[in-house]
Amino acid sequence: MWRLRANMSVDRHADAFLEMLAAERGAARNTLLAYGADLEDFAGFAAARGLGLAQADESLLRAWIAAQSAAGLSARTAARRLSAIRQFHRFLLREGVREDDPTQLLDSPKLPPALPKYLTEAEVDALLAATATLKPAQGLLAAAALEILYATGLRVSELLALPRNALSSDRQVLMVRGKGGKERVVPLSQAARDAAAAWLASQQDPKASRHLFPGRDPRQSMTRQGFALLLKQVALQAGLDPARVSPHVLRHSFASHMLARGADLRSLQTLLGHADIATTQIYTHVLAERLRALVAQHHPLARPPSGGG
């Protein structure tokens, strides 16, 4: 049975709520422990004001939220705690323990936008170099796919949907069909063209598949899962944590590195196939980081004082 820790008075409603999460929603142990800790924290706050865990009103909840902010809790932690309390009170309402939900009008703490995760240029170089350490067929496929991904910022679905003839002749651009069937043209680097050509030349039967990256069944394209496994192998060979490497991380790396080297947002929006430039603007954190680094390096007040003699 899931219970609050022994140093708090056990609340049967909290126990029932945690048991419901475990039984009906299959909540993981760590989730249950986190929710239990959140309920315990709120129970202590309510008890100090003479109320039980299931007796809170809106004013008590607002006071609790304010107390967390004053204690210096991050917005993310406060939002997670409030989510636990919301779900608890919805459970009480559903079970007929309460006739109202005091969390209904509460605003969640405003979270900062999640910044895209990306690799450094050196890490991308290490990934590309590591493709040469795989078995020949795997290595050529991985090199072609990674060079194209990093040169264009394609989504993995767009990459795997490329037909074999997308790189026929000496094409320097790719015609890509993106979300909503919208087409866009993206330029290809010489390295990407060379890697793709080497991959195509290595295939024994060029008529076996119409896909640039065929799956085990050549009538189908490679699956996302198959490509993810290949990328994991490359990451391990490159000495990188596979959890940090994914097709989307490579897309973010492309965008971040382009901005860092002076690309403008409108051009980047076109290359990435974003319908709204607001989606592209999240990459401006790279520019902010560059500016901070420049100030730290060159501003006279940022320099450590020189030793006197």
Quickly state the pLDDT bin for 291 (edges 50, 70, 90): confident
Domains in the chain, number: 2
35 catalytic? Reply is no
Using an 8 Å Cβ cutoff, are 149 and 252 in contact? no
In a domain, 202, yes or no: yes
Q: Indicate whether 279 and 196 sit together in one domain.
A: yes
Sign of CA dihedral 255, 260, 261, 263: positive
Of 100, 189, 114, nearest to 150 (Cα)?
A: 189
155 catalytic? Reply is yes
% of the chain beyond a pLDDT of 90: 47
Chain-centre distance of CA 208, in angstroms? 36
* Tokens (6 digits) for 157: 């679905």
298 catalytic? Reply is no
Range in 26-30, 147-151, 213-217 with the lowest mean pLDDT: 26-30
DSSP state of 168: -
CA distance 29 to 81: 17
CATH of the domain at 173: 1.10.443.10
62 catalytic? Reply is no
Q: Indicate whether 83 and 139 sit together in one domain.
A: no
Last residue of a domain, one of 77, 94, 111: 94
118 catalytic? Reply is no
What tens digit of pLDDT does each residue of 234-270 get?
999 999 999 999 999 999 999 989 988 888 889 999 9
- In the chain, count H helices and then E strands: 13, 2
Instruction: State yes or no: pLDDT of 304 exceeds 80.
Output: no
Q: Indicate whether 156 and 21 sit together in one domain.
A: no
Strand partners, 211: 163
Residue 289's pLDDT is 67
The reported pTM is: 0.60
Residue 62's pLDDT is 92
* Tokens (6 digits) for 181: 């069937």
CA distance 86 to 102: 9
Q: Indicate whether 266 and 179 sit together in one domain.
A: yes
Give the residue, 286 or 64, on which the prediction is more confident: 64
Residue 5's pLDDT is 43
- Out of 3, 86, 274, 285, which one is annotated catalytic? 274
Using an 8 Å Cβ cutoff, are 213 and 221 in contact? yes
CA distances from 89 to 60, 86, 164, 168, 177 (A): 13, 5, 56, 61, 46
- Out of 89, 155, 211, 252, which one is annotated catalytic? 155
Q: Indicate whether 82 and 139 sit together in one domain.
A: no
Quickly state the pLDDT bin for 166 (edges 50, 70, 90): confident
CA distance 129 to 142: 10
Domain that holds residue 63: 12-94
CATH of the domain at 52: 1.10.150.130
Instruction: State yes or no: pLDDT of 106 exceeds 60.
Output: yes
- Out of 5, 76, 179, 210, which one is annotated catalytic? 179
251 catalytic? Reply is yes
Last residue of a domain, one of 94, 110, 141: 94
* Tokens (6 digits) for 80: 């997670």
Last residue of a domain, one of 94, 110, 142: 94
CA distance 43 to 232: 44
Instruction: State yes or no: pLDDT of 6 exceeds 50.
Output: no
CA distance 184 to 175: 6
For 114: left if phi > 0, alpha if psi spans -120 to 50, otherwise beta; the answer is beta
Q: Indicate whether 273 and 167 sit together in one domain.
A: yes
Residue 27's pLDDT is 80
In a domain, 207, yes or no: yes
